[in-house]
Amino acid sequence: MKLCAAQLSSITGDIEGNIGKHCAFIQRAVEQGAALILFPELSLTNYAPSLAQGLATTPDDPRLDALQHLADVHGIIICAGLPVTGAPLPRIGMVIFQAHQPRGLYCKQRLHADELPWFSPGEGQALIRLGEHSLAPAICYESMLPEHADEAVAAGADFYLVSVAKSANGIAAGQQHYPAMARRHAMPLLMSNSIGPVEDFLTTGQSAAWNRQGDCLGTLPDGQEGLVLLDLESERVELIPGP
Mean pLDDT, to the nearest integer, of 210-239? 97
pLDDT tens digits, residue range 92-115?
999 999 999 999 999 999 999 999
* Confidence (pLDDT) at 170: 98
* Confidence (pLDDT) at 183: 98
Q: How far is CA 36 from the centre of its chain?
A: 11
Quickly state the pLDDT bin for 153 (edges 50, 70, 90). very high
Mean pLDDT, to the nearest integer, of 236-241? 98
pLDDT tens digits, residue range 187-209?
999 999 999 999 999 999 999 99
Is a pLDDT exceeding 90 seen at residue 87? Answer: no
Mean pLDDT, to the nearest integer, of 208-232? 98
Mean pLDDT, to the nearest integer, of 64-79? 99
Task: Residue 21: give its domain's CATH number.
Answer: 3.60.110.10
* Structural domains counted in the chain: 1
Mean pLDDT of the chain: 98
Which 3-state string (H, E, C) describes 51-84?
HHHHHCECCCCHHHHHHHHHHHHHCCEEEEEEEE
Domain around 73: 2-241
| Sequence-separated (6 or more) residues with CB below 8 Å from residue 98 | 71, 77, 104, 128
pLDDT tens digits, residue range 35-44?
999 999 999 9
Is a pLDDT exceeding 90 seen at residue 73? Answer: yes
* Confidence (pLDDT) at 205: 98
